[in-house]
Amino acid sequence: MPFLSWHEGPKLQRQRLEGARVLGADPMRATVVSPIVGPPVQAMIQPEGIHWRLRPLEGMVIRREGEMVPASGILLGDGDVANLGAWEIRFSHRFPGLDPERFLETSGPLPLPSGTAATASLRWVAGLAQRLEQGLLADEDPTSLAKRLLEEACSFLAADAGLHLRQSASAPWRVIHRVGLSVEDLEPAHSLVAHALMDEVSLLSNDPWLDPRALRAPLGSPSLGPMLVAPVFLAEGLDEGPEGAFVLIRRPGSPTFSAPDLSLLRSAADLAALAYRLNLVHRRLLTHAEMESQILHLRRDLERQDDRQGHLLSALRGSLVREQAMLRTLDGPSAEALRRHLSFMLHLVEDGMTTDPGLAPPPGRSWRLVDIQREILEGWTPLAESLGLRFEEGPAPDSQVWLGGGPVFEALRSLLDTLLLQLPSETRLSLSWSEEPGRWCLDVALPSGTPRVSPDAWSRGVFATSGLEWRWADARLTLAFRVAEHAAVVTPDRPMLGLVTEDMGLIGLFQGAADSDDLALFPLEEAPPSPPLPPFETLVVDARGVKDVIACLQAYRAHPTFATTPILVVRAKELEGPELLAAGATDWLAEALRWESLHHRLQTLRRHRELQKKGRASERLETVRQMAGTLKHEINNPLAVISLQTELLQRKFPDEPKLAKISEQVQRIQGLMQMLQKMREPGDEDYPGGTNILRL
């Protein structure tokens, strides 16, 4: 963390730079105040990438090494000195003005002991690593391993007390482990640990109460002697487990610590951090193994359920076809209503038998209001006539609305048929249209006291997919349709990459990833927009950029456009993985977000989607081949009987032309059966461009 420093008389002043600062003599306008009377504001220092830029303000003059700084400013390096009139400031990357004999801080390598002490130190560090390995192999808890490392460091470095401190949101500081003597006043230790964590440095303080980096308590006698602080950092992006620092303390008046002592403590802290990382990796592997096992189990259950559902739908279809045949002999409104009802049920059964659940919902289209009114009345009229009900319909406006694909009218009929059955005979139902902003509403006036009819889960899903709203108030049913003008879809030139986040700082990263994969970036809100939308190849949800990531995933997965779109969650916590998958996510990234990891994961999702498409195509081809075998078997048997009987009749009646015609058609059907036999055999060929064609 960079600092600005200057002298006020013999005293050295320091300011930590955590953002842009204004330098000047006016405390109301400047955030870094000059000790010398001068202009209200003189300069500004601000971050620029990984550097810091100092530039003059309002015509002021800044000099560096005697040369005037241009109006655009200069990039500062460690140790640079600038003169703002009589005010001399120094820029440094570390805490400035430390006495090297008493205070030390560094993020780089530290010297190891020399002579005979070096051998003992190396043996001690090697022993720590060996005991850590044994503890990990024995599946020992990383917290107990960290405590053991702290105890050994306290003993080897002759410290009177050892602490593992952690700063948290619920409490300023928390002692995770305590070794040796109890220390009452830890205020300087807290300040030094906070400084070490913020600047990511290890530090030595042989006089904590006079250390310029520590906050000193105004009352009480010093209870801390020489001190060492070594941060215990987890890997980047991992925010689980204790994160803080190892602290070793000696009594006041004890011998001071040295730089090699700090190096040894940092080795123990690094081993503790390694224990937490390895434990987390182990838990990740177990979580992934459990999830893969669960996915395999669910896949088998779904396959068995699909088989059972297919058998039941086939049996139901046969029953409906037989009932339709029996109704052909009946006449009247009731028979017509039953025929329409059976036709509606047969359509749903056939749709359930042929629709691939892995495919996106059918695309929507624009409907004229008059066509919607006619479609609804044609479905209602037979049942209404059989019940003695009458409709009074008004003219439909000359406008269009948008309806998504799917059995929306079938869902409406299943609900409205239930409603009509509750009405008394001779009831008159009034249908009229009204307009709302962005919607046209079909209002159905019902008699007072009509029981409310609510959509079931299946109907609600169909209505949500189609963009239809179902309302009920004061014995009035309202069907609200979105106007087509507000739902125009523009087909993009490139596949779409959706991004859901409120962190605008990520736009550049995702734009680069989208360009590298030839995708068009499309920012989205946490709540999905109304359909219709262009198809998206992938949707990315930022777990830290939305208020409720689970609700966001569920909302997008229920949206018809994103029903089968791969959804990648980034910046997620590792333990949230199973919950994210249950909410609809396809995959997640738990580590720190980098361009390389994002690009690799998007490529993986794209390949996974291509493999899914090829797998579904292969399954359809196999289904066609199985159907061909079934048809050949079912048709060849009666066809052989017909052919034999025709041949016997031709011998008996050789001049009959109809028998020759029958024989010709039998031969034609036999030729078709031979083609079906070829379909059962693996006769497909690959062509350039990835095309695969079935050879007949």
CB neighbours of 241 closer than 8 A, spacing ≥ 6? 142, 143, 234, 276, 279, 280
| Greater model confidence, 44 or 100 | 44
| Greater model confidence, 580 or 285 | 580
| Greater model confidence, 26 or 515 | 26
Q: What is residue 405's DSSP assignment?
A: S
Q: What is the pLDDT of residue 54?
A: 92
Q: What is the pLDDT of residue 91?
A: 94
Rounded CA-CA distance 575/588 in Å is 11
Q: What is the pLDDT of residue 226?
A: 92
Q: Over 90: is that where the pLDDT of 248 sits?
A: yes
Strand partners, 392: 430
Q: What is the pLDDT of residue 138?
A: 80
Q: For the chain, how are helix, strand and coil distributed in percent, rounded to 5?
A: 45, 20, 35
- In terms of Cβ atoms closer than 10 Å to its own Cβ (0-12, 13-18, 19+), residue 30 is buried
Selection from 547, 616, 544, 552 nearest residue 584 by Cα: 552
Cα angle: 299, vertex 302, 305; to 5 degrees: 155
Q: Over 50: is that where the pLDDT of 376 sits?
A: yes
- The dihedral through the CA atoms of 570, 571, 575, 576 has a sign that is negative
Instruction: Provide mean pLDDT across the span 286-305.
Output: 76
Question: Helices marked H in 242-360 — which ranges?
Answer: 259-327, 333-354
| Greater model confidence, 341 or 649 | 649
Q: What is the pLDDT of residue 218?
A: 46
Q: What is the pLDDT of residue 189?
A: 80
- Among 22-36, 129-143, 483-497, 624-638, the least confident range: 483-497
Rounded CA-CA distance 69/616 in Å is 67
List of domains in the chain: 3-92 (2.60.200.20), 103-109+125-283 (3.30.450.40), 333-432+446-470 (3.30.565), 496-593 (3.40.50.2300), 612-694 (1.10.287)
Q: Over 70: is that where the pLDDT of 690 sits?
A: no
Find where tokens 């405590």 sit: 147
Q: What is the pLDDT of residue 239?
A: 47
Q: What is the pLDDT of residue 184?
A: 65
Q: What is the pLDDT of residue 684?
A: 55
Phi then psi dihedrals of residue 530, to 5 deg:
-70, 145
| Greater model confidence, 40 or 694 | 40
Instruction: Provide mean pLDDT across the span 607-628.
Output: 70
Q: What is residue 78's DSSP assignment?
A: T
Q: What is the pLDDT of residue 487?
A: 45
Q: What is the pLDDT of residue 527?
A: 84
Q: What is the pLDDT of residue 351?
A: 67
Instruction: Provide mean pLDDT across the span 475-498.
Output: 73
Rounded CA-CA distance 264/124 in Å is 9
Instruction: Provide mean pLDDT across the span 507-525.
Output: 80
pLDDT, one tens digit per residue, over 297-307 is 877 877 777 77
Instruction: Provide mean pLDDT across the span 464-490.
Output: 75
Cis peptide before 208 (omega within 30 of 0): no
pLDDT, one tens digit per residue, over 642-674 is 778 888 888 888 878 878 888 887 787 777 777
Q: What is the pLDDT of residue 283?
A: 77
- Among 198-212, 246-260, 308-322, the least confident range: 308-322
| Greater model confidence, 668 or 71 | 71
Instruction: Provide mean pLDDT across the span 330-343.
Output: 72
Rounded CA-CA distance 480/500 in Å is 28
Q: What is the pLDDT of residue 421?
A: 79
Contact indicator for 38, 57 with CB cutoff of 8 Å: no
Q: What is the pLDDT of residue 419?
A: 80
Over the chain, what is the mean pLDDT? 79
Rounded CA-CA distance 661/651 in Å is 15
Q: What is the pLDDT of residue 4?
A: 92
Selection from 180, 154, 110 nearest residue 268 by Cα: 154
Q: What is the pLDDT of residue 681?
A: 59
Rounded CA-CA distance 298/595 in Å is 34
DSSP states along 45-77: EEEETTEEEEEE-TT---EETTEEPPTT-EE--
Find where tokens 């691939």 sit: 356
Question: Helices marked H in 540-576 — which ranges?
Answer: 549-558
Residue 139: count of CB within 10 angstroms of its CB: 8
Q: What percent of the chain clears pLDDT 70, i.e. is strictly above it? A: 82
Rounded CA-CA distance 47/69 in Å is 17
Instruction: Provide mean pLDDT across the span 149-156.
Output: 92
Q: What is the pLDDT of residue 324?
A: 66
Q: What is the pLDDT of residue 236?
A: 47
Rounded CA-CA distance 202/42 in Å is 35
